[in-house]
Structure formats: C-alpha cells, structure tokens
Amino acid sequence: MSKRAIFVETKEGVIKRAIFGVISGARSEGSELVAFVLDGKGKEYQSELQEYGITTIVDITADGISEVYDPEVYTGVIVEAMKKFECTEFVGLTSALGKDLLPRVAAALDAPALLDCVSIDCNEQTVMKSQYTGKTQAKMKLEGECLVYGVRPNAISATPAPAEATVVSYVPSFKSCGNMVIKEIKASTNKGVDLTEAEVIVAGGRGTGSTENFKILQELADTLGAALGASRAAVDADFAPMSMQVGQTGKTVSPSLYIACGISGAIQHLAGMKTAKVVVAINKDDQAPIFKKCDYGIVGDLLEVVPEITAAIKK
Amino acid sequence: MRIFVCIKQVPDTAENIAIQGGVGIDESVKWVMNPYDEYAVEEAIRLKESVGDGEVIVISVGSGSTMSTIRTAIAMGADRGVLITTDEKPDQRVIAKAIAKIIQDEEDGDLVFCGKQSADSEGMQTPFRIAALLDMPVTTNVIAFENSEETVVVESEVEGGARQVIEMKKPCVVAATKGLNEPRYPKLPAIMKAKKKEVKEIALDSLNLDSQTNSMSIVELSYPPEKPEGKMVSGESPQELAQNLVSLLKEEAKVL
C-alpha cells in the first residue's frame, strides 16, 4: 500500500481550512494518508485530521523546528520523514509557504512536481492546472517513483471521510548547514487574512480613486472577514501596496466570493481571479469588460454602493 | 564576478492563446522574454554595474527562435549568451539539468538569477531545481537584493505580504518577482551591438544529461470554462442595489 504524505499547514496553532480540501483531493483507493505536522500539535489535531481520512499523524519535532517557516529546516526534515515513513508522494497547499516548500522538496528528491493544481488524481497521477496565465487549463501527467503535488487554495472542496488515526512522534536528525539564515521578518501593513488563501476577497481598482477610498473597501472586507485586494491599475496609482495586487504579475486567487470594485477587468487581472466561484462587479461604466465575467453586476458609484453593502450585511 | 541569468521565451501575455493539436498552441504569436525574467536580467546588470566589473551570461533553453530573446537580454546589458537548442518541449526537470550543466561547465559562478515562474507553463520550480543540482541556497519571490563580499541579503515576500530578510552564502540562486526593480528598455544602438555579441549554441542532446525524458507532460489542453452571462442587479438607489445584491448572495449563490 503506497503512502502519501500531506503537509499540514497551520497558523497560530490552527490547521488552515484549505488543508482539508488538499486531504480530500489526495484520497484514493489503496493508499494511506500520512499527515506531517511540524508545530508539535499532532495530538491536538488528531480528531480533525482523522475526520478527513488521515490514518497516521507524524509529529515532527526537534530543536529549531517551529511554526515559523525556515526553508532549509522544513525541507530537510520533510525529506528525511518521507524516507523514514516510506512515503512516495508529497501533497501540500500552494500557499505562499507551499510555493516555497513544495518545489524545494521536489528538487531535493529530484521528483516531478506540479503546483497550483485545481484538481488532482493521485491514482491516475494526473492533475488539472492553469497554463498561459489562466488562458488555458492543462490536464497533466506525472511519472516517477516519487511525486509532489501542490493544490491551489480553496480549489478543492473539503469532504469528510472518517478514519482512525494514530499519532507517532518523530525526531529527525537534520542539521541546517547555515548557507541561508533568516535575519528578520518584516511585518506586513496588510491587515488580516492572506490574499491567496482568502475565501472572500474585496478588491479595488482604479475606480476606487484614492488610498483614502480604499478604507471603504476595508470596512466591507472587515465585515465579511475578507482579504483586501487591488488591481494593477490601483497599485500603479499607489492606492494600494504591491503585495495586494491580484492578477498576472500579482497573486492568483480562488475565493468563493470575489467583489471587484471599480475594476474594469483587464485580461491580466482576470488571469488572477478566474477560478473565483462567485464574482460580483461594481462599476460606474456599464461597458466595463468585468461585467461579462461576473455573476452579479451593479452599475453604480462604488463610493455610494459599497457602504450600503456593508450596512446590509451587518443587518 | 560571474553572474548567470536563466531566461525563458514565452508568448506575450497580451496575446490570445489558441490550442492546436490537443496538447500544443498556435505558435504564430508574439514571443517575448518571460516577464519575471526581465527583473532577473535587470538585477544582474545593475549588480555588474555597481561592482564595476564582471560578466553577465544569459542562458536559455528553446528552439532557434529563442535567440531573439537572448539578444534582448544582451541589448539590456548582458555580455554574452548560451542557447541550449531543442525542438522538443523539455519539462522543468530537464531544463534545470541542462542549465545546471552549463553553469557547472562555465565554472566560478557567483550568482544565478531567475524569474520566479514562467508565464506559459506556470511551473514555479526551475530555480529550486537548479539550486539543488548545484548545491546552492535559493530564495524565491525576491523583491529586494543587496550584494556583499561573501553573501547576499534578499527580501522575499511571504504570507500576508510580510517579508523575510534572508542572508545567503554565495554562490546562490535568486528568483525575482515584480517589485525588485524597473527593467530598462534596450536602446537602439545597444540592440544593434547585441547582434554582434557571442551566443554559443549547444544542442540539448549533446549535454549527456542523466535523463532527458519528460516526467511531467500535457495530456490535454483546454480552455477554462467560461462563466455564463452575469445577472445585473436591479435597484433604484444605492441602498436598494446593495440590499438586492446581499439577498442574491445569501439565497441564490449561498456564499454569505
């Protein structure tokens, strides 16, 4: 029976919700799912993880391993744990962390890897993923003794499949060679939820008009527990920082609800939010291309409409 | 100082992509340097300029037509190029092995710059593979770069827009993203001069890689499903529009 390792990404002692989608996508007949936990809380996560079909939880603990991501340490101990527990596949989330960790593990194992997949079939060894900045989608096949899969956050829905999991502790021997040292972490000015993983996003474009007006969007985002995004035009106009940019040269997002405010809908922006499940567009210009790509459109001034939406949700 | 830059030629992102033969695309589009690679080329040239001496070598894998993108990098300020020629479509594993082989053969590299991902295959892995093959440290998503004697200090954007400040020992691999710099446009005299600079062509087949077989391949290429025409929300006032939208999101779309 082949063993498939799942990287359990956590934040402040809580499993990221999108991980349950990853586990659901990774299940297949005849394979055992092994969860790698690196924050030392394997025991606490047991009931949640077994609810989705995990049968072994490996609590990887040692000096120097913490929830704060260290690229070399994480890669080293995961590669070691894969060998120790005889896992031939590694599956994770293509989050900000996953975009760094998954290809490192793949490179260390010289394993084929496909990242940011919107669906995976580990039995067939195939995935669906975007190519040509979202203008096409490719069904791709991986071939090799050891494979790495990365799943786009929120692309696969979580479906429970209860199993019984045992928790084992593992102390790896990996020592960092010190070729790369994290000196400092500069905190972000962005509030709240990470954009690439957010389930709801409120985004502003050039039509927002100013940094000041972005506060109106922030209020809606706060009310919805959403992340705030921006179009390239808004970033270029300095209304919002570059880390908030959604689109081809920014972030690719896949929320269940995307509210585009004052965004015209350039092809480069659409490339970054095409797989959002429900798109709402609010724009003054009834000819804006975004209206052809949305589920619900409102022709109107966002400065008037958005505060009313915030108020209506609060009710 | 010897600086390598790995670049890829991709369809201009403003072009429409037409699928051909189930797994390929109509290649009669405008081909350009991968957008993220422009930041890599620019940073390499700036580094050479600030150090005052050194050599910037661009490496690419592709068909003969990739030459034009190498020439663009040279016109920006790179010194010479290496084109690993193939008419096949090698995957990222093969590409990384080919590039690592060239860098090894050239010897004495201090730095390798790449773009963080390509706009065609969206693989997001080649810089890591090159680094692993050359046993170098690597950081991706780099938005700030500073060179010193033995090390480099980079800033990499991580979750939620925070930045990790990382020091890496040289030689190392740096994968660039938007925000690192503003790539320059090559000027006409530089474009003319670039045509005379050395670009070595080496056949992929002649590199004797341990494996040249793709392990990641396209089974089928298709267009993403288009959204059906959206619904315009009705209402006489901003308040009414907002209320109608919220009830649609609650009752019809069930996302609130």
CB contact under 8 A, A131 and B160: no
Select from B94, B78, B97 the least CA-distant residue to B199. Answer: B78
Predicted confidence at residue B125, as pLDDT, reads: 98
Predicted confidence at residue B170, as pLDDT, reads: 97
> Which residues are within 8 A (CB) of B23 and not within 5 positions of it... i.e. 6 or more apart?
B218, B219, B220, B221
Residue A294 DSSP one-character state = -
pLDDT in tens, A122-138: 999 999 999 999 999 99
Residue B118 has pLDDT above 80, yes or no: yes
Predicted confidence at residue B228, as pLDDT, reads: 82
Angstrom CA distances, B168 to A143, B83, B142, B149, stand at: 33, 28, 12, 11
Residue B55: Cβ within 10 Å count: 17
Q: How many whole angstroms separate alpha carbon B205 and alpha carbon A258?
A: 47
Q: Residue A177: closest CA among chain B residues belongs to which residue?
A: B137
CB contact under 8 A, B224 and A297: no
Which residues in chain B touch residue A255, judged by CB atoms under 8 angstroms apart?
A: none
Q: How many whole angstroms separate alpha carbon B249 and alpha carbon B255?
A: 6
Identity at B206, one-letter amino acid code: S
Chain A neighbours among B 126-155 (CB < 8 Å)? 127-129, 131-133, 136-141, 143, 153, 155
Chain A neighbours among B 158-217 (CB < 8 Å)? 158-169, 172, 178-179, 215-217
CB pairs under 8 A between A and B: 250
Mutate to test the interface with B, among A140, A242, A286 (most CBs of B within 10 A): A140
| pTM passes above 0.90 | yes
Identity at B83, one-letter amino acid code: L
Q: How many whole angstroms separate alpha carbon B169 and alpha carbon B173?
A: 10
Asked if B30 is an interface residue toward chain A (Cβ–Cβ < 8 A), one would say no
pLDDT in tens, A25-56: 999 999 999 999 999 999 999 999 999 999 99
CB contact under 8 A, B221 and A131: yes
Q: Decide: residue A234, CB within 10 A, 0-12 exposed, 13-18 middle, 19+ buried.
A: buried
pLDDT in tens, A163-187: 999 999 999 998 888 899 999 999 8
State the ipTM, two decimals: 0.95
Residue A98 has pLDDT above 80, yes or no: yes
